[in-house]
Amino acid sequence: MAAELPTGLAAAVASSLATARAQMRASLVTLKDVYGITGSFVFARSGHLVARELPAMFDDAALSEAGSRLTRLQETFAAAGDQLEIAVLRFKEHKVYVKVLPAGALCIISSGGVNMPALKMAANLVGRRIAPMLDQVADDPTFADTAPAPSATTAEAAPSTGARPPALAPPGMRRFRGRTVG
Amino acid sequence: MTAVLSPTSAVGFRAQITGASLWDLVQMECLSRSRQVVRVNGEGGVGYLYFADGRVVHAVTSKLMGETAALEILGWTNGLFQPCQRAWPATFTIETSCEGLILRLAKWRDEGASNLVAFPGRAVPSGLAGDGGAAVDQYEEIEIEEIYEEGEMPAPTNSDHPAPAAGVVRSELSGEFPVTMRLAPGGGILASKGADEDMAGVVAYAHRLGQLAGELLGLDPFVAMECTFKGGRLLLFEEENGETVALRPRTENNLQPLRDRLGL
Decide if B225 and A87 are in contact by the 8 Å CB cutoff: yes
Interface of A with B (CB under 8 A): 57-58, 62-63, 65-66, 69-70, 72-73, 76-77, 79-80, 82-96, 109, 112-113, 159
Contact assessment for residue B223 and residue A90, using Cβ atoms and an 8 Å cutoff: yes
Counted domains in chain B: 2
- Final residue belonging to a domain, choices B92, B110, B138: B138
Of A69, A84, A94, Cβ closest to residue B219:
A94
The larger pLDDT score, comparing residue B241 to residue B161, is at: B241
Q: Specify the pLDDT at position B166.
A: 40
Q: Specify the pLDDT at position A36.
A: 93
Its ipTM equals 0.75
Q: Are residues B133 and B163 in the same domain?
A: no
Residue in A closest to B206 by C-alpha = A73
Q: Are residues B132 and B7 in the same domain?
A: yes
For residue B86, the enclosing domain spans 2-138
Q: Specify the pLDDT at position B73.
A: 87
Q: Are residues B152 and B128 in the same domain?
A: no
Q: Are residues B156 and B104 in the same domain?
A: no
- Final residue belonging to a domain, choices B111, B138, B165: B138
Q: Are residues B6 and B133 in the same domain?
A: yes
**Sign, Cα dihedral of A156, A159, A164, A169:** positive
Query: Global pTM?
Result: 0.56
| Helix B197-216 with A60-79: angle, nearest 10 deg | 170
Average of per-residue pLDDT across B187-214: 89
Ranges of each domain in chain A:
4-8+12-142
**Interface residue of B227, B251, B264 to substitute, partner A, most A CBs within 10 Å:** B227
Contact assessment for residue A38 and residue A111, using Cβ atoms and an 8 Å cutoff: yes
Q: Specify the pLDDT at position B186.
A: 86
- Final residue belonging to a domain, choices B96, B111, B138: B138
Q: Specify the pLDDT at position A174.
A: 47
Domain A4-8+12-142: give its CATH code.
Answer: 3.30.450.30
State the count of interchain CB pairs (< 8 A) between A and B.
111
C-alpha closest to that of B144 among B181, B177, B175: B175
Q: Are residues B99 and B208 in the same domain?
A: no
Q: Specify the pLDDT at position B189.
A: 87
**Interface residue of B209, B225, B260 to substitute, partner A, most A CBs within 10 Å:** B209
Of A84, A113, A159, Cβ closest to residue B160:
A113
- Mean pLDDT of all residues in chain A? 79
